[in-house]
């Protein structure tokens, strides 16, 4: 087992009406004037925004707002948030929404204390030494950004989607009320399930000697996500099922599942990021396209790891290539069942520029660690995903 | 799913040589003069104590020491620690050892700011409003006290063992180095495995509507504990196996496995506490005696829950009573294999005073929630465990 330090400071406040606690929690955290950063006006139509500002007023917390963060959040919006936060003397950021609003808020949190351009963090030119504290009210379970230290943002001018992380970006608290996810469109619910499943895949499929304890937690969690994703799409108004999926997304990316392991593979995420930056598709949909292709390309590196996956997640007793390929086809069936595309063609991406995508994904070196992938390897994975 | 708040502040520093970081971590936490609270002189013989004090000296942290905390730690030692901490102007407590040293340190941490007798907390007469910060260096994986908010202490004058908890008692950090567990006697290793397994049982066997996500994590974790307990007893010097068990004990009791669930059943723990207080036996051994008896007595309350346990943990496809009783006998086999007693008679307890034990365990009302147990129910469980 690898040496590790585990620390996750995010306080999770989960359940019905929990949004009403936001003012008190912010006061506890020392906030005086906050930036409310959110996605669409869905939160204004469904009453959430009003409930939040009422709670802020009761706690004597001032606020300004910046909305309309889009999926695959843009660095231009992050820059706008930084300027606004500086101008308005903001001391705390509250993100309301899914991974996009939260990741955008994290960019603002890091950028507000930095004199250069915030994109430098995403290019890994500088390391964040200070960040404004943030909190979140999660309305779309998917990215796990509500307790993670990472942020992913798209630079629309150069069509690149990039990530960086720092413990300073872990939210102080996150409020998760499954009620607000009941009205999510099926497609978004399914994209979320695909994203959280991918977060467990990235952690499970690692090259180093496995850790039995977290292997078993990962495999159990994959089963939970697939089972509950199917159920919630059949019963979108069921509070308990919405709660299971919301809890599952948090657990998939809060660090519990990879203690003692290496950092995870993450090649599929990098390969997907190029796809969604270039074609502006949902990240979860992109992952459903990329993961089966990645699996087909790499499984021979450690077939035992895939055999255990096949057995524990799909109950497949066949071993060797046959069992593994059967498991991958079962995974593709799952994606189809929940309405995800499994090939670029199914997402209306015709004639993708694979040379360009591969070159950008692999950068100057290799990506991933289950199998270290060169540009040529990445090309073959995109080909399998066409 | 039940509403919940999850927060666990304990930073886990896990791996080889991590004890050398203790001085720096204490400095980071603001400690100036600490109380080192430990069990036997094993830590002086194996070099750990010297490495710790060297690290403290480098970080300019003063210390006094109070050792010889025994298994089933005594409230008299806690009182001694409180007096010493007051006299020496201690501002931080470092526990080195297993659950006993840590639980004793937690008692001191709460008692040092309280004018009355510390036993009042364990009698639930008062609630802790302030506690001295503590950190731990864990040398015996078992109790999970290294990240929990609970403490269990025995009042030897009245032969009662009682628990209380407060978020204030969660350690600031805990250092886990599996190297120091390699020389543990087999019996202690097995008692530890039994204790952590029981912590998952208490969380899994709850009466409320189940939470699928954490059910599956609990069941997966039971399997990991049983598998790795067997393996580590065959290979006591294997670092990776020692690491698996040490990690398993942390996960079993750090709160991850019961988010969204009710507080757990905990009747078996209460029933066991009377046994180990009266006969001064190891807590893990007592749990191996009590849990099968409890299971036999209560399974009819929710047979489906036991069927899932039988299937997932022992691969038993038979349903109904037959499958459940088979699973309980498999559990007893496991206890036997790792050298745990399964009946009081196997622990040399002849003619136990069941009336007295039951009356003390059940107090004025009922205990547990999977089935609410009266004094008469508890008597029958002790009878099954004779």
Contact call for A1 and B15, based on CB within 8 A: yes
Predicted confidence (pLDDT) per residue in B160-209, tens digit: 889 999 999 999 999 999 999 999 999 999 999 999 999 999 999 987 67
DSSP secondary structure code for residue B353 in this structure:
-
The tokens 């065959």 sit on which residue?
Answer: B234
Res A243 pLDDT > 70: yes
A208–B contact, CB cutoff 8 A? no
Average confidence score pLDDT of chain A: 96
Predicted confidence (pLDDT) per residue in A110-126, tens digit: 999 999 999 999 999 99
Residue of A nearest to B224 (CA): A213
pTM value is 0.95
Would you tell me how many other CB atoms lie within 10 Å of the CB of residue A82?
23
| Nearest alpha carbon to residue A225 among A211, A241, A245 | A245
* DSSP codes joined into one string, A138-172: E-S-SS-TTT-SEEEEEETTTTEEEEEE-GGGS-S
d(CA B124, CA B163): 9
Q: What percent of chain B has pLDDT over 70?
A: 100
Contact call for B15 and A6, based on CB within 8 A: no
SS (H, E, C) B19-32: HHHHHHHHHHCCCC
ipTM field: 0.95
B158: which residues sit within 8 A by CB, 6+ positions away?
Answer: none
User: B363 falls in which pLDDT band (50, 70, 90)?
Assistant: confident
Q: Which helix (H) or strand (E) holds B282?
A: none
Q: Are B104 and B78 in contact (CB under 8 A)?
A: yes
- Neighboring chain A residues of B8 at a CB cutoff of 8 Å: 8
Average pLDDT, integer, range B9-25: 97
Tokens of B344: 């009081």
Predicted confidence (pLDDT) per residue in B258-299, tens digit: 999 878 999 999 999 999 889 989 999 999 999 999 999 999
Tokens of A96: 């309301």
Tokens of B347: 């622990």
User: B210 falls in which pLDDT band (50, 70, 90)?
Assistant: confident
- Neighboring chain B residues of A247 at a CB cutoff of 8 Å: 1, 211, 213-214, 259-260
| CA-to-CA dists, residue A46 to A53, A71, A95, A138, B154, angstroms | 14, 19, 16, 14, 54
Predicted confidence (pLDDT) per residue in A251-287, tens digit: 999 999 999 987 899 999 999 999 988 998 999 999 9
Would you tell me how many other CB atoms lie within 10 Å of the CB of residue A161?
26
Q: Of the candidates B2, B3, B248, which has its C-beta nearest A213's C-beta?
A: B248
The residue of B2, B5, B6, B15 whose CB has the most chain A CBs within 10 angstroms, and thus the best one to mutate to test that interface, is B6
Determine phi and psi for A121, rounding to 5 degrees. Answer: -65, -45
Q: Are B92 and B132 in contact (CB under 8 A)?
A: yes
What is the per-residue pLDDT for A282? 92
Q: Of the candidates A13, A239, A248, which has its C-beta nearest B213's C-beta?
A: A248
β-partners of residue A96 are: A38, A137
Res A208 pLDDT > 70: no
d(CA B11, CA B13): 6
User: B124 falls in which pLDDT band (50, 70, 90)?
Assistant: very high
User: A351 falls in which pLDDT band (50, 70, 90)?
Assistant: very high
What radius of gyration, in Å, describes the C-alpha atoms of chain B?
A: 20
Would you tell me how many other CB atoms lie within 10 Å of the CB of residue B285?
24
What is the per-residue pLDDT for A339? 97
Average pLDDT, integer, range A225-240: 98
What sign for the dihedral angle of Cα A158, A164, A169, A170?
A: positive
3-state secondary structure of B154: strand
d(CA A188, CA B133): 44
Q: Which helix (H) or strand (E) holds A36?
A: strand A33-38
Q: Of the candidates A5, A13, A219, which has its C-beta nearest B12's C-beta?
A: A5
What is the per-residue pLDDT for B280? 86
- Neighboring chain B residues of A240 at a CB cutoff of 8 Å: 1, 209
Q: Judged by CB atoms within 8 Å, which residues 172-191 of B form the interface with A?
A: 178
All structural domains of chain B: 11-180 (3.40.50.1970), 183-384 (1.20.1090.10)
3-state secondary structure of A174: strand
Residue of A nearest to B6 (CA): A12
């Amino acid at each position: 087992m690898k040496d590790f330090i585990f620390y996750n400071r995010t306080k999770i406040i989960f359940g019905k009406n929990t949004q009403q606690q936001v003012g008190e929690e912010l006061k506890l955290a020392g906030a005086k004037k906050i930036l409310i950063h959110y996605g669409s006006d869905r939160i204004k139509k469904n009453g959430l925004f009003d409930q939040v500002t009422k709670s802020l007023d009761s706690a004597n917390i001032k606020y300004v707002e910046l909305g309309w963060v889009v999926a695959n959040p843009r660095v231009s919006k992050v820059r706008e948030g930084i300027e606004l936060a500086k101008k308005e003397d903001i001391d705390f950021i509250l993100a309301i929404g899914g991974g996009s609003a939260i990741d955008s808020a994290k960019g603002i949190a890091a950028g507000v204390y930095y004199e250069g351009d915030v994109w430098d963090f995403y290019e890994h030119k500088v390391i964040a030494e200070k960040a404004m504290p943030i909190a979140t009210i999660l309305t779309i379970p998917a990215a796990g950004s509500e307790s993670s230290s990472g942020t992913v943002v798209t630079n629309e001018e150069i069509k690149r989607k990039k990530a960086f992380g720092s413990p300073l970006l872990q939210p102080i608290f996150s409020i998760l009320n499954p009620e607000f996810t009941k009205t999510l469109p099926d497609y978004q619910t399914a994209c979320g399930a695909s994203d959280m499943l991918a977060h467990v895949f990235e952690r499970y499929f690692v090259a180093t000697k496995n850790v039995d304890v977290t292997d078993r937690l990962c495999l159990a969690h994959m089963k939970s996500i697939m089972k509950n994703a199917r159920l919630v799409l059949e019963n979108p108004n069921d509070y308990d099922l919405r709660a299971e999926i919301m809890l599952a997304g948090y657990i998939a990316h809060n660090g519990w599942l990879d203690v003692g392991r290496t950092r995870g593979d993450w090649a599929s995420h990098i390969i997907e990021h190029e796809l969604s930056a270039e074609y502006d598709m949902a990240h979860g949909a992109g992952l459903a396209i990329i993961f089966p292709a990645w699996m087909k390309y790499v499984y021979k590196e450690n077939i035992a790891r895939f055999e255990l996956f096949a057995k524990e997640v799909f109950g497949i007793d066949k071993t060797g290539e046959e069992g593994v390929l059967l498991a991958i086809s079962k995974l593709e069936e799952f994606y189809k069942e929940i309405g995800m595309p499994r090939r670029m063609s199914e997402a209306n991406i015709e004639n993708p520029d694979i040379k360009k995508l591969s070159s950008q994904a692999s950068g100057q070196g290799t990506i991933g660690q289950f199998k270290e992938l060169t540009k040529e390897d990445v090309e073959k994975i995109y080909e399998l995903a066409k």
